[in-house]
A = this chain, B = another copy of it.
Amino acid sequence: MPRRRGAFRPMTSTQRQLDEMQQRVAEDSLQAGSSDRELTEMKRRLIVERAAGVLYEKGYGRTSIRDIAAACGMSMGQLYHYISSKDDILYLMHRHSQEMWHQHLSEAGFDQITDPVARLEHGLRITIRYLSEQRDLYQFIFTESKYLDREHLEEVLEMDDQNVVGFYRHLLSLIPDTRLRGREAELAANLVSFICMFLPLRGWNLKLTDSTAVDEAVDFLVRFIFRGLGLDRGPTNGEA
Return the contact of A187 from the options B160, B206, B230 (Cβ within 8 A): B206
Provide the bound-state CA to CA distance between A152 and B220, in Å: 32
Are B217 and A187 in contact, with the CB atoms below 8 A?
A: yes
Instruction: Judge whether A225 is part of the interface by a CB distance below 8 angstroms.
Output: yes
Provide the bound-state CA to CA distance between A224 and B186, in Å: 14
27 CB-based A-B contacts, threshold 8 Å: A59-B147, A61-B147, A62-B147, A157-B205, A160-B205, A161-B205, A165-B205, A183-B206, A183-B216, A184-B216, A186-B206, A187-B206, A187-B217, A187-B220, A188-B220, A190-B202, A190-B206, A191-B198, A191-B220, A191-B224, A193-B202, A194-B202, A224-B228, A224-B229, A225-B228, A227-B228, A227-B230
Q: What are the residues of chain B within 8 A of A39 when measuring CB–CB?
A: none
Task: Classify the secondary structure of A's interface with B.
Answer: helix
Are A146 and B147 in contact, with the CB atoms below 8 A?
A: no
Provide the bound-state CA to CA distance between A160 and B201, in Å: 14
Provide the bound-state CA to CA distance between A103 and B88, in Å: 42
Instruction: Judge whether A21 is part of the interface by a CB distance below 8 angstroms.
Output: no
Are B198 and A194 in contact, with the CB atoms below 8 A?
A: yes
Q: What are the residues of chain B within 8 A of A165 when measuring CB–CB?
A: 205
1/0 per residue, CB under 8 A from B, across A192-207: the answer is: 0111001001101110
1/0 per residue, CB under 8 A from B, across A156-177: the answer is: 0100110001000000000000
Instruction: Judge whether A100 is part of the interface by a CB distance below 8 angstroms.
Output: no
Instruction: Judge whether A76 is part of the interface by a CB distance below 8 angstroms.
Output: no
1/0 per residue, CB under 8 A from B, across A220-234: the answer is: 110011011110000
Q: What are the residues of chain B within 8 A of A186 when measuring CB–CB?
A: 206
Tell me, rounded to whole Å, the shortest Cβ–Cβ distance linking A195 to chain B: 7
Tell me, rounded to whole Å, the shortest Cβ–Cβ distance linking A162 to chain B: 12
Provide the bound-state CA to CA distance between A221 and B186, in Å: 12
